[in-house]
Every structure is written in structure tokens, then in C-alpha cells.
Amino acid sequence: MSANEQEDELFQSARTAPEGDLRAFEDLVEQNQRRIVADCRQITRDESVAEDLAQEVFVKAYFGMKNFEGRSSFRHWLQVIKVHHCLNHLKKQRGKAAVSIDEEGPQSSEETKALSSSDRNLERLSEQQIIHRILEAMPDNLRVPLVLRDMDELSYEEVAANLKINLSAAKMRIKRAREWFREQYEAQGARAAREAHP
Amino acid sequence: MTQDPEERPIPELADLETEVSPSFVNRVRSKIQRRTTVSQYAYFSWTLPGIVLKEFLGVLIHLFAVADGGKGRSQ
């Protein structure tokens, strides 16, 4: 049985559990918490609220699971709840968050330079930390679509719908974000990894 | 057919996880329990007056019925 099938089975147990019995749901939280917190952190670029957002995502999932129609896997359903919740948080926080997500921001060659020149201590960071740092330096209009596509595994259509942009714009941003990421990862990450594990 | 490297997902992102505080699950549980309690309280505050009123009317109707029965017997 695959991990996804096991998770779906656990989800069925959580749905059919008597009221107040949270054991199966807690197992689901245990299994998914690290990924959901990482996703929330990358979408909002705010480590301090990532856990709070992730908790609210699980609470929403708990109260929403009775209405779950089973048209997708539990994992995908949870990702969708998380994406909506984090994007709403961004909008609330920035007022006009749509601007930073939807519009082409000032191109961040300065940010790229800053990342490559001033972060010498990246060499000492673990691979995961390097990835976090690269994503944190990426502008919102590239980072959010990339996270939705490659971390949350949403389809291009879902990314476009969630960000309220057209499909070709979503594809273009994801392509550019991947280019950015690979460039930075090769420049910074591989060097650090080589030094850590010669 | 080989895929353009830029079209391929970044594998490092698919497995990206982060450390979570040990009390995370406990905090999720407390939030769920708190919200459940609040919703039960709201439900009872909304329905309890109706139930009490219904019971009260039931008692009144019963009392009138008993009183009418008593009058009928005394005549």
C-alpha cells in the first residue's frame, strides 16, 4: 500500500471516528506537520507565523472533513486548504498583496547579488537551510507560483486559478522561478554541499 | 522525448520539510477542543431556551387538562 493510500485510509478513520476521538486525526497531523509548516513558511516568507498558520490549516481540515467529497486525495485537499489560508493571510497582511503576487515586481537582480555576495555563511548551512534562504530571497511573484507547483504539487491550472492570473502567465512565472532557483542553488547550494560532504 | 530542464519540477522542493515545535500536535488538539466547546455552547445557548419554553408549555397544557377534568367530575 502506498503512503498516499495509507494516508487516505487514516483520513477515513478520522472522518468516521466518534466525536471527540482525535487519535486518527492526530496521526495525520503528525505525518504532515513538517511539510505544511515548511509550505506556510515559504508562501508567507515569515517563519514566525508559519506554525500558527499550519495549526489553523489543520483545524480547518478537521472541521471541514465531514463535508469532504472524496474527489481528490487527502494530501491534495489539505494542500488546497493551506494555499487558500496562506494566500488570505498574505492579502490581509499586505492589504494589496495581490500586487506583489500578481504583478511583475521590480526585478531582483539586487537581491540575487545580495544573496550571492553577502551571504558567505551560506556555505556553512545545511541543504534545507540553503533552500529556505534561496526561496526567501526570491520575489513573491515568482516564489508563490513555484511553491504552489513544486512543493504543493498543484496543477498549472490550479496555480493560475489560485493566483487569479492566466495560465500562460502562471507557466512563465514558474519557468522563471525554476531558472532562478537552479541558478542560485548551483551557485550557493552545491558549493556548500560539496564543502560539507567532500 | 526529453523534457526541457526548466519544465521539470525542482526535486529538492518536493521533499522540503522544516522542524516543528514538539507541542504542535497538542496545540492543534487544544484549538479543536476549544472550538468544539464554543460551538456546543453556542448551540445549547440557542436551542436551550426553546426546549425550556416547549417543556413549560407542555406542563401548562397538562395542568389545564387536569383542571378541566376535575371540573367535569365535580359538576
Domain ranges of chain A: 1-95, 106-198
Q: Which range scores top for mean pLDDT: A149-158, A183-192, B12-21?
A: A149-158
Instruction: Note the pLDDT of residue A174.
Output: 93
CA distance B38 to chain A (A): 13
A106-110, B40-44, B47-51: which has the minimum mean pLDDT?
Answer: A106-110
CA distance B53 to chain A (A): 29
Q: Per-residue confidence at B6, pLDDT binned at 50, 70, 90?
A: low
Cβ pair B25:A33 closer than 8 A:
yes
Cell numbers that stand for A166 in this block:
492566466
**Residues in chain A closer than 8 A to B29 (CB atoms):** 22, 26
**Residues in chain B closer than 8 A to A185 (CB atoms):** 10, 12
Better pLDDT: A1 or B12:
B12
Better pLDDT: A195 or A87:
A87
Instruction: Note the pLDDT of residue B58.
Output: 94
Residue B49 lies in a domain: yes
CA distance A150 to chain B (A): 6
Span B33-54, mean pLDDT?
91
Q: How many domains does chain B have?
A: 1
Of A4, A19, A37, which to mutate for an interface test with B (greatest number of B Cβ within 10 Å)? A37
Span A8-21, mean pLDDT?
85
**For residue A152, how many other CB atoms are within 10 A of its CB?**
26
Which residue carries 495509507 as its cell? A6
**For residue A147, how many other CB atoms are within 10 A of its CB?**
28
Q: Per-residue confidence at B2, pLDDT binned at 50, 70, 90?
A: low
pTM of the complete model: 0.73
Residue B16 lies in a domain: no
ipTM score assigned to the predicted complex: 0.70
How far apart CA A53 and CA A36 sit, in angstroms, is: 9
Instruction: Note the pLDDT of residue B71.
Output: 67
Q: Per-residue confidence at B55, pLDDT binned at 50, 70, 90?
A: very high
B46 touches A at CB < 8 Å: no
Domain membership of residue B33 as a residue range: 25-74
Residue B30 lies in a domain: yes
Which residue carries 493560475 as its cell? A160
| Residue of chain A whose Cα is closest to the Cα of B12 | A131
Taking each helix axis from N to C end, the angle separating A23-44 and A47-64, rounded to the nearest 10 degrees, works out to 140
How far apart CA A32 and CA A141 sit, in angstroms, is: 26
Which backbone phi and psi does A113 adopt, to 5 degrees?
Answer: -65, -45
**For residue B72, how many other CB atoms are within 10 A of its CB?**
8
Cβ pair B28:A58 closer than 8 A:
yes
Cβ pair A127:B12 closer than 8 A:
yes
A106-198 topology per CATH: Arc Repressor Mutant, subunit A (1.10.10)
Of B3, B7, B8, B10, which to mutate for an interface test with A (greatest number of A Cβ within 10 Å)? B10
A121-130, B21-30, B31-40: which has the minimum mean pLDDT?
Answer: A121-130
Span B42-61, mean pLDDT?
92
Instruction: Note the pLDDT of residue B67.
Output: 84
How far apart CA B40 and CA B53 sit, in angstroms, is: 20
Percent of chain A residues past pLDDT 70, beyond the cut = 79
Q: Which range scores top for mean pLDDT: A121-125, B18-22, B71-75?
A: B18-22
B62 touches A at CB < 8 Å: no
**For residue A88, how many other CB atoms are within 10 A of its CB?**
12
Q: Give A 67-96 residues with CB within 8 A of chain B.
A: none
Instruction: Note the pLDDT of residue A105.
Output: 46
Residue-averaged pLDDT of chain B: 85
Cell numbers that stand for A165 in this block:
492570473
- Given a cut of 90, whether residue A37 has pLDDT beyond it is yes
Please tell me which of the candidates B14, B20, B29 has its beta carbon nearest to residue A37.
Answer: B20
Cβ pair B10:A181 closer than 8 A:
yes
Q: Select from 3.30.1490.70, 1.20.120.450, 1.10.1740.10, 3.40.50.300 the CATH code of A1-95.
A: 1.10.1740.10
Length reported for chain A: 198
Q: Tell me the pLDDT tens digit for each residue of A42-83.
A: 888 888 899 999 999 999 999 998 888 878 888 889 988 999
